[in-house]
Amino acid sequence: QSLVDLNLRRGNHIQPAFLIPPLAWLTDLLLKPLEPLRLVGNIAPRPYFQISAVDDGQIPLRSSRALFDAAGEPKRLTWIPAPHLKPGMEDIIEQLVTIGYAEATRLGLLD
């Protein structure tokens, strides 16, 4: 099941429900060239750092893990106890900035 299909079903915004599979298929087809799983391997040999939310209701843990697994080395994954990021979540945004800054410093990307 694609992320598009999963999220279309979760929202209950599309009625009747039989429209969801063809809409998900069409959206997946249009977005396929931009699919992160297809592109993440191109980042290597540059460092790849991923922050994923354990309590993300929109991106399943298996999808986050698959993206990380598809990345080349060097790579690092950090899990945070948070929901899917939305505007206004300043405390989580601050946490992400702190984690990202520390990782960039560790990698020697910042002085």
pLDDT in tens, 11-50: 667 777 788 888 888 888 888 888 899 999 999 999 999 9
Per-residue tokens: 94: 């601050």
| Shared domain check, 63 and 11 | no
| Shared domain check, 5 and 46 | no
Q: What share of the chain is helix, strand, coil (3-state, %, to 5)?
A: 55, 10, 35
| Shared domain check, 65 and 107 | yes
Give the pTM.
0.76
| Shared domain check, 98 and 50 | yes
> Where in the sequence is the domain holding 5, given as residue range(s)?
1-34
| Shared domain check, 10 and 60 | no
Per-residue tokens: 24: 């998900």
| Shared domain check, 53 and 30 | no
The amino acid occupying position 21 is: P
| Shared domain check, 23 and 47 | no
Domains identified in the chain, total number: 2
Closest to 67 measured CA to CA, from 44, 111, 35: 35
| Shared domain check, 91 and 43 | yes
Residue 95 backbone class (left: φ over 0; alpha: ψ -120 to 50; beta: rest): alpha
| Shared domain check, 61 and 98 | yes
What is the chain's mean pLDDT, rounded?
A: 89
Name the helix (H) or strand (E) containing 38.
helix 36-39
